[in-house]
Amino acid sequence: MRNKAGLKFMAGETVYILNGPNLNLLGAREPEIYGYASLSDIEKAVRMRADLLDLKIEFRQSNHEGVLIDWVQEAAKKAGGLILNPAAYTHTSIALHDALKAMPAPKIELHLSNVHARELFRRISFISPAVDAVICGLGADGYVLALDAMRRLIDNRTDHAPIGMPNDREQED
């Protein structure tokens, strides 16, 4: 199969995009740090991008650690990839770390803000050692960029083909 740019890709993958505590308040919560886009604005932008990339999206938010862990476990069974903004659980949750370790598909940790340029406690992530990549500091755009990166991680999962190049797992059309 080929995408709209004429490049071959694997179709039909679902990417879970999970958001942690207080991200339901985006747009109103400390906008000087997190921006003015609401989580539903971000979801709309991500869904538009997902259509172009031929990805399906599960976009969710919870303020509860156990719910997020249940969703990571669900993603481990059903998803082609996971993009996770764990919010404050980034800096505290060994349980989320363990859940991520049990998921073989590509995983990206995402933050709107540059956590390294803020308070010292935000420089510690229990999530980073359990994921393939980390994106931070790009605001709401980070979600769309993470999805672009996820498309490549999924396509290149087995043979690490150069960016935009076909790989062995792709089907001929």
Considering beta carbons, is residue 13 or 109 the nearer one to ligand DQA?
109
- Among residues 78 and 114, whose Cβ is nearest to ligand DQA? 114
For ligand DQA, the closer of residues 80 and 142 by Cβ is: 142
Query: In the complex, what is the shortest distance from the CB of residue 115 to ligand DQA, in angstroms, rounded to a whole number?
Result: 5
Comparing CB distances to ligand DQA, the nearer of 105 and 115 is: 115
Pattern of binders to ligand DQA over 13-52, x per CB under 6 A? ---------x------------------------------
* 122: contact with ligand DQA by CB under 6 A: yes
Candidate residues 15, 82, 99, 112; the one interacting with ligand DQA per rule CB under 6 A: 112
Q: Quick one: tokens of 38?
A: 């609401």
3-state SS track over 53-120 = HCCEEEEEECCCHHHHHHHHHHHHHHCCEEEEECHHHHHCCHHHHHHHHCCCCCEEEEECCCHHHCCH
Pairwise CA distance, residues 23 & 151, whole Å:
24
CB < 8 Å & 24+ apart, contacts of 165-168: 165/7, 166/7, 166/8, 167/8
Specify the 3-state DSSP secondary structure of 15.
Answer: strand
Segment near ligand DQA (CB under 6 A); pick from 57-65, 80-88, 97-105, 165-173: 80-88
**Please, what is the minimum distance in Å from the beta carbon of residue 134 to ligand DQA?**
11
Distance CA 120, CA 138 (A): 19
**Which residues are marked as active site?**
34, 111
Residue from 14, 63, 113, 167 touching ligand DQA (CB under 6 A): that is: 113
Q: State CA 93 to chain mean position distance.
A: 17
- Indicate the DSSP class of residue 130: G
Say whether residue 128 binds ligand DQA (CB under 6 A): no
Phi and psi for 135 in degrees, rounded to 5? -125, 130
What residues make contact with ligand DQA under the rule CB under 6 A? Answer: 22, 85, 87-88, 90, 111-113, 115, 122
